[in-house]
Structure 1
Amino acid sequence: MNSLFLAVIGVAMMIGGYLLYSKFLGKKVFQLSPSYKTPAHTMEDGVDFVPTNKYVLWGHHFTSVAGAAPIIGPAVAVIWGWFPAFLWVTIGTVFAAGMHDMGVLWASQRHRGQSIGLLSGRYIGKRGRMLFLVVIFLLLLMVNTAFGVVISGLLISTPSSVIPTWGAIAVALCIGQAIYRLKWNLPLVSVVGVVALYSLMLIGDKYPISLPETVLGIPAAGVWIIILFIYAFCASLLPVWMLLQPRDYINGLQLFIGLGILYASFLFTRPDLVAPAFREDVPAGTPGMFPLLFVTIACGAISGFHGMVASGTSSKQLDKETDARFVGYFGAVGEGLLALGTIIATTAGFRTYQEWESIYSEFNAGGVNAFVEGGGNLLNEGLGISTSLSATILATMAVLFAATTMDSGVRLQRIVVQEIGDTAGIKINTFLATCIAVLVAFGLTFSQGTDGSGGMTIWPLFGTTNQLMAGLSLSILLLILMHLRRPTWPILIPLLFLTVMSLWAAFIQLGTFFQEGNWLLFSMDVIIVLAAIWIIVEVFLAVGRMKQTKQIEWTDEDIDAPKPEPVDSKA
């Protein structure tokens, strides 16, 4: 099958979802109001709560949620064939991911910018809230530690990506000053920023930088991870307008252009998919496609991490409530396009089936390297970009996606630490909470040695934990809509499907960990599964209590605009 046909169908489905389905959600389900005063205005503090242009905020949301996972997941899942991965990415983006991101963003900003874990206490009680926060903390720990390892590996394997990766920080700081201090107009800032980033790629390709094998007895991988954690610590303490917003915005533009270049290569080369639609001769040891497909591809179809970004940082920067449609739904579409591009790059970027099969010789053998290699071949053949520069562009894309997610992840971890403290009656200041967040992640990362390999210790739990988190977030959204007497089927159907698949996968993993004698992962999986089941029980109890309540009482902490004005259909 020709890859261009697959790309056109996939892109059309996602754009159609934004133009049609998100409009329905905004008008009938979430009833976005252009006159509602968001927490970015009512609670503006110049640090976390900052009214933000919707295009800049989209850049933050898109790049924060689209880390390495929408590359890793699809690049691994095509081992079962390209068709199941394609279906889950496209249908999941349109009916699950976009709705989830948009809905959680709306719910959070209607509750004074509270995180999904904290606002859950209003609907399922204190026990459920604490369990929610524990699951969120563990999920963020997985993301922050694993992405540090992934970024480090890419900086070592593709040294030409070092200069553009770190140079992007300087560009972002300048962009922040240009927007908020010098008041430059956004188009000018955008052009200057994108040109600067791509210039850095050209410089990086010409002057690759590699660390010595060891520095003070620490391997190069460990050194990069230490530098990354120091950066993430500092970045999470700065006001969002100074680094986080401009970095994510300009990265979002650059990454979207990168996606455009990748899709242009599909147009010019029009390669056939060398991988089968359904692979029957999967390598020995490959788990069954059901239900593992739906947790292997998390980001790119639907992801619980998105809810943490939407409610942790994005909701605090939403200028107008109607912007939730563009920021939340279209942010998820951006990630879906990345996942779709990954599927095509990893199945059409190799000349023969035998060449592709040699890469996918065992489960988890694909990943980022398959994306960089396959996509690099297409850029070289279709656009005439040198193999070296192609690898630099794609590796930098992957690094910047992962780095912006790590930026937001550490900031979110800090917020969760503070929320856990508040729940326990302990006041934790921002600096101390950041120290706790970074030190816990740092300790786990170096628990297996100075190379930082411990960062991947609990990563096998990410898929199931992430999807369980998405299901739990949807359950809170369901309760909120039931309170408002609004349509719930757009939430209920994905919620039931995702919960069943995630719990099914989690129980399969429990058996695997038990047989392998991996007691750390087994114990953590038990904790996560029990917490998720407990929260689900609390949700059922909350539904029961709600049905017995004849009248809904509203407070300032609840949804305070039961009858909003009609949504702006041009949002």
Structure 2
Amino acid sequence: MNAIVLLVVGLAIFAGGYFVYGRYLSRRVLQLDRGFATPAHTQSDGVDFVPTNKFVLWGHHFTSVAGAAPIVGPAVAVIWGWLPAFLWVTIGTVFFAGMHDLGSLWASARNDGKSMGSLSERYIGRRGANLFLVVIFLLLLMVIAAFAVVIKNLLISTPSAVIPAWGAIPVALLVGVAIYRMKWNLIAVTIGGVAALYSLILLGDRFPVVLPEQILGMSPATFWIIALFLYAGIASLLPVWVLLQPRDYINGVQLFVGLGILFTSVLLGAPQVVAPAWNSAVPEGTPSLVPLLFVTIACGAISGFHGMVSSGTSSKQLDSEPDARFVGYFGAVGEGMLALGAIIAATAGFRTLAEWEEVYSAFNEGGVAAFVQGGGTLVNAGLGLPVSLSSTVLATMAVLFAATTMDTGVRLLRFVIQEVGEVAGVKVNNILGTVLVVVIAVALVFSQGADGSGGLTIWPLFGTTNQLLASLTLSIIAIMLIRKRSNPWPALIPLGIVFVMAFYAAIVQVGTFVTDQNWLLLALDLVIIVATVLVGIEAVQGMRRAKNAPPDGEGHPGEDASVEEAGSRPTQTP
């Protein structure tokens, strides 16, 4: 089959989701109100709470949630065939991720920008909230540690990405000053920032940076990991407008340019999908498609981490509540497009089925490497760009998105530690919280040696933990909708499906860890399972209480009616 069919059908589904289902959720289910005073205005502090242009905020939100996961997951999952991966990415994005991401952004904005951990206490109860924080803590720790290793590996394997990856930092700083201090035109700043970033990509391709065997007494792997955590710690402490927002915004635009290059290459080159639609001859040791497909592709279909970003940083920057549809739902669509690109690159970026089977000779043998290799081949064939330059563009995309997810993750985990401190009656300031995050993550990364392989120690639990967290987030959204007397089924249906698949996968992993005698992962898996079950019970009880309680009586008008109230920002609470 020609890859153009996959591309056109996939993009059509995403467009229909945003313009039809996303509009329905915004107007009829969540009833987004332009007159509602968002936390960015009511608690504006110039550091975390900053009213932000929706396009800039979308850039931050999108690149924070995207990372490397929507590339890695789909590029691994095509080992079962391109059709299951394609269906889960498209359907999951439209009906699962869209509701989850938009709903968690709305839920947090309606509650003073509080995180999902804090919201769980209000809507589920103190016991459920404490257990919720355990799941959140483990998930964020997995993301931070694993992405540091992913970035390190890419900087070593693709040295041409070093200059653009680190050069993006001063570019972002200049963009932040231009937008917020000099008040330059956003379009002009965007063009200049993207041009600077792609100039760095050309420079990096011309002058790849290969570190010596020893640098400051460290191996290249150790040096890159230390440098990444120093950067992430500093970035997480800076006001969001200084680095976080502009970096993520430029990265978001750069991603769409990169996706445009990849998709245009597909349209011009018309490559054939060499991988089977349904692979009945998977390599030995490949786990069952059900339930593993639904946790292998997390980001790119639905991801609990997105709820952490929505409620941790994005809700604090939301200028107007109706902007949540563009930031949250379209953010999910953008990630779905990235996952679609990964599927096409990993199935149509090879000349023959034999060549594809050689790469996919075992489970987890695909991933970023298959995306960069396949995507580079597609761009070379479609646009005639040198394979090395094409690979540099795609590797830089992967590094930049993993880095933005990593520094956002450090900021979010600092919030979690501060929330734990509040529960324990101990005040943890920003600096102490950040130091604790970095120390814990670095200890995990180096726990297996100086190469940083310890960062992947608990990564096998990411998929299940991430999806279980997504189901718990949807339970909070459902409780809020029940209290509003709004339709909760757009949240309840994905909640049920995701919970069943993720819980099933967690149980399957118990057997795997016992067989492998991996007692650490077994213990953590059991902790996650028990915590999730207990939080789930509390959530069901919370839904019953919400159903029997008087309605919230917010009486929000629909999106169209609220446009007439622009300029009026009364402070409202749920």
- State the TM-score, normalized to the length of structure 2: 0.97
Match of residue 344 from structure 1: 344
Residue 295 of structure 1 deviates from its aligned partner by 0.1
Give structure 2 stretches of 5+ with no counterpart: 564-574
Q: Any residues of structure 2 matched to 1:163-562 within 5 Å, and which?
A: 163-549=163-549, 551-552=550-551, 562=554
The whole-number CA distance in structure 1 between the counterparts of 2:332 and 2:546 is 31
Look up the match of 1:111.
111
Secondary structure (helix, strand or coil) at the match of 1:240 reads coil
Q: Distance in 2 between matches of 1:423 and 1:22?
A: 37
SS at match of 1:480: helix
**How far apart, in 1, do the equivalents of 2:112 and 2:209 lie?**
45
Q: CA deviation at 1:564?
A: 1.6
Measured after TM superposition, the shift of residue 569 of structure 1 is 9.1
1:199 partner letter: S
Shift of 1:489: 1.0
Task: Give aligned-pair identity as a percent.
Answer: 64
Residue in structure 1 matched with residue 559 of structure 2 by the alignment: 567
Determine the structure 2 residue equivalent to 1:558: none
Question: Cα deviations across residues 134-161 of structure 1 (Å, max 9, x unaligned)?
Answer: 1101000000000000000000000000
Would the aligned equivalents of 1:34 and 1:565 in 2 still touch at CA under 8 Å?
no
Q: Equivalents in 2 of 1:322, 1:260: separation in Å?
A: 27
Match of 2:124 in 1: 124
Could you report, residue by residue, the CA deviation over 1:412-460 in whole angstroms, capped at 9, with x for unpaired residues? 0111111111122211111101111111001000111111111010000
Work out whether residues 34 and 568 of structure 1, in 8 Å CA contact, stay in contact via their aligned partners in 2: no
**Aligned partner of 2:455: which letter?**
G
Deviation at 1:547, TM superposition (A): 3.9
Aligned equivalents of 2:226, 2:562: Cα separation in 1: 45
- 2:31 corresponds to: 31
The one-letter code of the counterpart of 1:127 is R
Amino acid of the structure 2 residue aligned with 1:565: P
SS at match of 1:183: coil
* Aligned residue identity for 1:142: M
Amino acid at match of 1:562: E
8 Å contact 2:41–2:49 — kept in the other structure? yes
What SS does the corresponding residue of 2:124 show, helix, strand or coil? helix
After superposition, give the CA deviation of every residue in 1:337-372 in whole Å (9 maximum; x if it has no partner): 000000000000000000000000000000100000
What letter is aligned with 1:533?
Answer: V
Provide the rounded CA distance (Å) in 1 between the counterparts of 2:483 and 2:147. Answer: 38
Separation in 1, partners of 2:477, 2:544: 16
- Is the contact made by 2:482 and 2:547 (CA closer than 8 Å) also made in structure 1? no
RMSD over aligned Cα atoms: 1.1
Are the equivalent residues in 2 in contact too, given 1:77–1:297 (CA < 8 A)? yes
How far has the Cα of 1:545 moved from its partner? 2.8
Instruction: Provide the rounded CA distance (Å) in 2 between the counterparts of 1:438 and 1:477.
Output: 31
Greater alpha carbon shift after TM alignment, 481-490 vs 418-427: 418-427
Structure 1 unaligned blocks of 5 or more: 555-560
Q: Which amino acid aligns with 1:282?
A: V
Q: What is the alpha-carbon distance in structure 2 between the residues aligned to residue 509 and residue 183 of structure 1?
A: 52
User: How far, CA to CA, are the matches of 1:455 and 1:97 in structure 2?
Assistant: 27
Alpha-carbon distance between aligned partners in 2 of 1:249 and 1:348, rounded to the nearest angstrom: 30
Which secondary structure state, in structure 2, belongs to the residue aligned with residue 218 of structure 1? coil
Q: Which runs of 4+ in 1 moved over 3 A?
A: 546-549, 568-571
Q: Deviations over 1:456-513 (max 9, x none)?
A: 1000000000000100000111111111110011111101000000000000001100
Compute the displacement of 1:88 (Å): 0.1
Shift of 1:546: 3.2
Q: Counterpart in 1 of 2:567?
A: none
Secondary structure class of the residue paired with 1:214: coil
Contact 1:513 1:522 in 2 (8 A): yes
Q: Report the TM-score when normalising by structure 1.
A: 0.97
1:78 aligned partner: 78
**2: CA distance between counterparts of 1:465 and 1:214?**
37
**Distance in 2 between the 1:104 and 1:425 partners?**
27
- Alpha-carbon distance between aligned partners in 2 of 1:381 and 1:507, rounded to the nearest angstrom: 44
Q: Is the Cα–Cα contact under 8 Å of residues 483 and 547 in structure 2 kept in the other structure? A: no
Cα contact 1:218–1:451 (8 A) shared by 2: no
Quote the offset at 1:520 in angstroms: 0.3
CA distance in structure 1 between the partners assigned to 2:494 and 2:430 by the alignment: 36
Contact 1:322–1:568 under 8 Å retained in 2: no
- Contact 2:34/2:562 (<8 A) preserved: no
Cα distance in 2 for residues equivalent to 1:363 and 1:529:
24
Q: Output the amino acid matched with 1:539.
A: A
> Which amino acid is the alignment partner of residue 382 of structure 1?
G
Residues 532-566 of structure 1: CA distance to partner in whole angstroms, max 9, x if unpaired? 000001012222333443x24x5xxxxxx711232
CA contact (8 A) 1:145 1:455 kept: yes
Deviation, 1:217, is 4.4
